[in-house]
Structure formats: C-alpha cells, structure tokens
Amino acid sequence: MTTMTSDLAHGEGLPPELDPARPLVASGNLRRRHVVSTFFSSLAVLATAFAVAVMVIVLWTVVSRGGSVISWDFLTKAPPLFGCAGGGIGRAIAGTGLIVAIATAIAMPLGILIALYTSEFASPRARSFIRLVLDLLNGLPSIVIGIFAFGLLVAGHHQSAFAGSFALSIIMLPLIARASQESLAQVPNGLREAANALGVGRRQSVLGVILPSAMSGILTGTILAVARAAGETAPLLIVSSIYKGSYSFDFFGSAIPNIPVEIFRLSESADPAGYERAWGAALVLVIFILATSVLGRMLFARSKAKASR
C-alpha cells in the first residue's frame, strides 16, 4: 500500500507497478509476513530433521557397534564364565521370548474380552469408565507395575519369570484392549444388523461375525504391544533379574535371563568388554522390535485398504 501511494505521489502518468507484464512480488508488509511465515515453517522442518537425525544416530550407533559382535555363537551360546572371552546371549534371547510369549497369552484374551464388553455390551457410562481405567493403567510408570508384581508374587518367595510375564501382561493389557476397541468400532453396523436380522443369538453374532472382521486390527495391536513389552526393562529388573548361576528354566520358581536386563546389567558394569556384548544384545532387541513394529504397521495398512475397498 505504502509503496503504491509514494510511487503515485512522485510519478507522472502511470506508475511502473501497473505494468501488467511485471511479475507479482510481495513487498513491504506482505513481504515481512512471508518472511515470518517462512521462518516458522523452517523451524518445523528443522524440528522434524532433528528427530529423524536422533533416530538415525541412535540406530547407526547400535548397528555399527553391535554388528561386529553378532555371530552365530553370540546368538546361541551361554554367557562367558567369569573373566573369559566369548560367549553369547542365547539364554537371554530364549528367556525374553518365553516371558513375552506367556505375557501375551495372558494379556491378549483378556484384552479382547474387555474390548468386546465395551463395544458390544456395556452402557455408555460403563464404556467410558473402563476406557478411563485402561488409560490410567497405560499411564502408570512401568516401574510401579514392577513393584506391584514384586509385592504380589515375589515378596516372601523368590523372583520368578512368571512374575515378569505377569508384570508385562499388565503393560500389554491396555494397549491390546484399546487397539481392539478401535478395531471393533470400525466394524460396520450393517454387519451387526444383518446378523440380528438372521435371528442368531448375541454370542453367534459377536463371535461368528463381529470378532472375525475386527481380527486384523486386534492382531496389529497385539503385535505392537509385543514390541513394547519385549524392551520393557524396569519391571523385569525388579522381578526377574537375579539369575546368576541359576540357569534352569524353572518358569515359576526362579528368574530367567532376558535381553533388557542383560543390557542394563552390562551397561551398569564398568567392564568395556561387557559393553560390546551389550551393544550386540541391543542390536538383537532393536531388530526384533523394529521388525515387529513394521509387520504390525503393514498388517494395519492392509486391513485398512481392505476395509475401504
């Protein structure tokens, strides 16, 4: 505006701004606004670049330092005897697999049942209450769940892998239940009505029609919960970490080795040789977790594509 009046003031005839062939360029106040906008936009790009860079640096460190450690022996052998070189994390891998598998076996059916209750049976008030409870469970620090499992199952007895599975299942439960709820909500109401119109009971319509069509979303949620539980360290540190010498796989009677606690112990010790093994274990864990997350996402994308078709 200001430029135009000033040009008009000292110009005879038409100001040069009105030349129709001249490209449109912001000037004055508008230019300042564009500069401000570009500045903030580039901050947003910068923030995103920062997060991606952190991700890349962490992954690159784990891969470059852990990659040289990984070998067949490392993945399958028992840890080295005190002071010896070599040895692996075979038992820890098996232990984590077992603990997470049992946790899933506890949390998955329970989570699906909760989701079925809230989406098919519950009154709106009960639904929002249970949703709140699940959110609160999800928001509890994992170490609090660890000391809960300790107080319930370990105090007065001894550490056990089962207590670890129990604690992990509490962490997985809200994740699976919420994912299942969302997946059940995606089931078109037409399906429910069609089942009702056929005159079948609720049990048949729920178990025969509604649950199967929500299954891929439920599986995705479970896979993501497994990825989360596999790396959870704090509860296992409290209920399944003292396994020196006791390498029996006595699931209910003793702690069993597992990858997260192994990494934690090696990282807390001052022995650089231990660090190497910790990087190796970290790489194994990261590969497992990223692979399961990607698998879960792919499954989710496929089921979404199917649903929209």
Q: Of 165-194, which residues contact other proteins (CB under 8 A)?
A: 170, 173-174, 177
* Phi, then psi, of 226 in degrees rounded to 5: -60, -40
Rounded Cα–Cα distance for residues 26 and 58 (Å): 43
33 touches other proteins by CB under 8 A: yes
232 touches other proteins by CB under 8 A: yes
**Footprint on residues 43-102 left by other proteins (CB under 8 A):** 43-48, 50-52, 54-55, 57-58, 61-62
298 touches other proteins by CB under 8 A: no
- DSSP for 145-186 reads HHHHHIIIIITTS---HHHHHHHHHHHHHHHHHHHHHHHHHH
Number of chain residues interacting with other proteins (CB under 8 A) = 93
In sequence order, the 6+-apart residues with CB closer than 8 A to the CB of 248 are: 254
Structure tokens, 80: 């080295």
HSE at residue 257, side-chain half, CA atoms within 13 A, is 21
Rounded Cα–Cα distance for residues 154 and 126 (Å): 33
> Applying CB under 8 A, which part among 17-25, 73-81, 82-90, 111-119 lies near other proteins?
111-119
Residues 234/142, Cβ–Cβ less than 8 Å: yes
**Which of 8, 78, 101, 207 is in the footprint of other proteins by CB under 8 A?**
207
**Which of 114, 218, 223, 256 is in the footprint of other proteins by CB under 8 A?**
114
- Give least dist CB 223 to other proteins, A: 11
- Give least dist CB 36 to other proteins, A: 6
Residue closer to other proteins, measured from CB, 138 or 216: 138
> Applying CB under 8 A, which part among 7-15, 72-80, 90-98, 132-140 lies near other proteins?
132-140
204 touches other proteins by CB under 8 A: yes
- Give least dist CB 17 to other proteins, A: 19
- Give least dist CB 264 to other proteins, A: 5
**Which of 63, 75, 98, 110 is in the footprint of other proteins by CB under 8 A?**
110
305 touches other proteins by CB under 8 A: no
> Mask: binding to other proteins, 267-286, rule CB under 8 A, as x and -?
xx------x--xx--x--xx
Rounded Cα–Cα distance for residues 5 and 175 (Å): 64
DSSP-H helix ranges across the chain: 2-10, 28-67, 72-76, 90-116, 124-139, 142-149, 161-186, 189-197, 202-204, 211-230, 234-239, 259-268, 272-308
- Give least dist CB 170 to other proteins, A: 7
